[in-house]
Amino acid sequence: MGRYLLRRLLQLVPVFIGSTFLIYWLVWSVPGDPFAGKCGERRCPDQYVAYMTEKYHLDQNVFVQYGNYMKNLLQGDFGQTFSQRDIGDIIATAYPNTLKLALVALAIEAVIGLGAGILTGLRRNGFLDNLVLVSTLFLLALPVFVVGFVLQWLLGVQWGIVKPTVSSEMRFSELIVPGFVLGSASVAYIARVARTSIAENRRADYVRTAIAKGLPMRRVVGVHLLRNSLIPVVTLLGTDLGALMGGAIVTEGIFGINGIGREVYRAIVTKESATVVGIVVVLVVVYLLMNLLVDLLYAALDPRIRYE
Amino acid sequence: MSDILVSEQSAPGSGGSGRPSGRLLEVDDLRVEFRTRDGVAKVINGVTYHVDAGETLAVLGESGSGKSVTAQTIMGILDTPPGFVTGGHVRFHGKDMLRMSAEERRRIRGEGIAMIFQDALSALNPVFTVGFQIAEQFRVRRGLGRAEAKKRAIEMLDQVKIPNAKGRFNNYPHQFSGGMRQRAMIAMSLALDPEVLIADEPTTALDVTVQAQIMDLLAELQRERQMGMILITHDLGVVADVADRIAVMYAGRIVEEADVYDLYAKPAHPYTMGLIDSIPRLDEKGQQLRTIKGLPPNLMNIPPGCPFNPRCPMAQPVCREKVPPLLQVGPARASACHFAEELVNRV
């Protein structure tokens, strides 16, 4: 176990370097002058351009640039935006908001998706089963922004049940609707995977054994059946958590949440290359760690998976 | 017409249908059908047998003869749908289990009647330790605490002769060998000291050497605990050593029931004769193996008359018309053949 963890962590190093280098290289090689329009109507003074070129090492080759960037990064320095703001600060302000939204979305996925999956998996072809199948198909077919705008308009504007946008305090009650929107596609996936998994395992020999042991039905389902059926669902939830923590450009945009998705979008549009790189680096690390977590969780759920 | 005939069949010693008979476990004129998209398969067509404390009944038959389905119906683990019980009784201590509430039936499982399955690898839950699955019986069914349940589970593992039972407690099923897994399965099913144990082909998935060990263990535990045991098998060799009585099944019916010695010495049904004849013999080495010609009938379309008649070397016109009832043909033996008397009285 310890050795496995160490090996997996070591594997992360080349992936981390490779992906961040690609990002760095791509972002800085986008055609166009990064300093165009930075000085209002007139052309930027040569002095300013020289200073900025020096500051971001733009006169050196991309490998040296990347090396410098990494050296600073490993010391916790994300660098500054073109307007002298610390990128680390931007991330530190925006990330907790994204995290909150991601956790709410995940909780909604787990509760609704898993609940619907278990109920329908146990009773296939009933009314509930058909309802879930149709509604999940609906959710899967609709793009997130449609679900988002429709719910915002319906619940927030027409019926006034919730506030249409999220305030800067990010209260939990305000995040339920955005969380649902963000998790809507995954809710549908999880419900379907859980349904199939439960229905498949329900006929398994070990479930029959558990019944033959005279265990109460809730124990047969809640312990013996569920534990086995959860394996694919947890994998899905875990990978999804990585994606959720990557920020939600659309959902954050619709509900006015100041999260990492919005920041990265803003940075791309304004050609703040350093900000884009900084945020993406964080997202890569988070995603890699989440993947590792899923693998560990997977093995904890299924003892047949060995760490060798 | 044929249904009425069969429902009048009575196995030796069993009470007539409807009234309790003081047997420990009694299956009486049981009928089960599988309703599938392709049609209705009549899997069990009036099975009657019983088992008493301290005796072993072997149920013998080819795949598809209904021996496992009968056991699943007794345990209440028949997959419904497609399986439906359409008639008959299963009495435990004289009470009809088919008419009990689900909760009453559940309480009998494990404590009154327990079952072990053919393939212990798939029958044990892969994600829980063997110890957990045995201790679960003590914790959930007996309400014991964690430590006490663990102690009792280790005792059970000891009883089925698993070496280093304490160290093995925390192993998962996949870490056990095939024979060990079947032993663990036995330990689990005997945890609550059941009165009847149903063993559904307990050795089919095992090596020959291990088969003998497991059968010996089962026979020993059955003797010690004075359990009634129903041993389902298609292996005549296994049966000879451990069974007291044998019920031979064909196409969802009992075709012969007899004491183990009588059955081997003088089978009273052509099907049983065919089965015994098809055991490979050392003194006929080099010759072609004998088989019963033909295939078991399609259960969606069982031939009229005796279901065995298309394969029977002795078949006469009457066999194609009338279903032979299971009738007594001697002390404690019965046969469902029109010519049973002649078979028994042959020299």
Cα–Cα distance for residue pair B345/B337, rounded to 1 Å: 14
If asked whether residues A130 and A143 sit together in one domain, one would say yes
**Of the partner residues A206, A214, A216, the one whose CB lies closest to the CB of residue B111:** A214
Q: What is the pLDDT of residue B7?
A: 37
Six-digit token string for A211 = 């019944």
Report chain B residues touching chain A, CB-CB < 8 A. Answer: 75-77, 79, 106-111, 114-115, 117, 119, 122-129, 136-137, 140-141, 172, 174, 188-189, 192
pTM (2 d.p.): 0.80
User: Residue A298's closest chain B neighbor by CA?
Assistant: B127
Q: What is the pLDDT of residue B129?
A: 93
Whether B140 sits inside 8 A of A224 (CB atoms) is: no
Q: Which chain A residues are within 8 Å of B122, Cβ to Cβ?
A: 204-206
- Summarised one tens digit per residue, pLDDT across range B247-283 is 999 999 999 999 988 888 888 899 998 888 888 777 7
- Of A108 and B14, more confident: A108
The residue-averaged pLDDT of A29-41 equals: 74
Q: What are phi and psi of B28, to 5 degrees?
A: -130, 110
Q: How many Cβ atoms from other residues are within 10 Å of residue B57's Cβ?
A: 22
Q: How many Cβ atoms from other residues are within 10 Å of residue A233's Cβ?
A: 25
Q: What is the pLDDT of residue A207?
A: 94
User: Residue B74's closest chain A neighbor by CA?
Assistant: A212
If asked whether residues A247 and A121 sit together in one domain, one would say yes
pLDDT over 60 at A124, yes or no: yes
Is A40 in a helix, a strand, or coil?
Answer: coil
Q: What are phi and psi of A81, to 5 degrees?
A: -75, 175
Query: Structurally, how many domains does chain B consist of?
Result: 2
Is B266 in a helix, a strand, or coil?
Answer: coil
Min Cα distance B122 → chain A (Å) is 6
**Of the partner residues A205, A213, A214, the one whose CB lies closest to the CB of residue B122:** A205
Among A166-170, A268-272, B42-46, B226-230, the least confident range? A166-170
Q: What is the pLDDT of residue A286?
A: 86
The residue-averaged pLDDT of A87-111 equals: 89
| DSSP assignment letter at A80 | B
Q: Which chain B residues are within 8 Å of A228, Cβ to Cβ?
A: 125-127
Q: Which chain A residues are within 8 Å of B107, Cβ to Cβ?
A: 214
Q: How far is CA A61 from CA A52, A94, A163, A198, in A?
A: 16, 32, 50, 55
Q: What is the pLDDT of residue B124?
A: 94
Query: Structurally, how many domains does chain A consist of?
Result: 2
B238-241: Cβ within 8 A, 24+ apart: B238/B58, B238/B203, B238/B211, B239/B58, B239/B60, B240/B264, B241/B215
Q: Which chain B residues are within 8 Å of A211, Cβ to Cβ?
A: 76-77, 109
Q: Identify whether A269 is part of a domain.
A: yes
User: Among residues A87, A119, A152, which one ends one of the domains?
Assistant: A87
- Summarised one tens digit per residue, pLDDT across range A41-88 is 777 788 888 888 878 777 788 888 888 888 888 888 888 887 788 888
**Of the partner residues A206, A212, A214, the one whose CB lies closest to the CB of residue B126:** A206
Min Cα distance A204 → chain B (Å) is 8
If asked whether residues A234 and A178 sit together in one domain, one would say yes
Q: Identify whether A306 is part of a domain.
A: no
- Of A11 and A171, more confident: A11
Cα–Cα distance for residue pair A200/B48, rounded to 1 Å: 34
Residue recorded with tokens 């129903």? B230
Q: What is the pLDDT of residue B8?
A: 38
The residue range of the domain holding B182 is: 119-191
> Residue A225 sits in a domain of what CATH number?
1.10.3720.10
Whether A215 sits inside 8 A of B140 (CB atoms) is: yes
User: Residue A230's closest chain B neighbor by CA?
Assistant: B127
Half-sphere exposure of A276 (CA within 13 A, CB side): 20
Q: What is the pLDDT of residue A216?
A: 92
Stretches where chain B sits below pLDDT 70 are 1-21, 347
If asked whether residues B160 and B209 sit together in one domain, one would say no
> Residue B267 sits in a domain of what CATH number?
3.40.50.300
Cα–Cα distance for residue pair B240/A138, rounded to 1 Å: 63
Is B236 exposed, middle or buried (CB count within 10 Å of its CB: 0-12, 13-18, 19+)? middle
Among A105-109, A245-249, B210-214, the least confident range? A245-249
The residue range of the domain holding A150 is: 88-301
Cα–Cα distance for residue pair B242/B91, rounded to 1 Å: 24
Q: What is the pLDDT of residue B136?
A: 94
The residue-averaged pLDDT of A165-175 equals: 80
Q: What is the pLDDT of residue B206?
A: 82
If asked whether residues A8 and A94 sit together in one domain, one would say no
pLDDT over 70 at A176, yes or no: yes
Q: Are B251 and B33 in contact (CB under 8 A)?
A: no
**CB pairs below 8 Å between A and B: how many?**
73
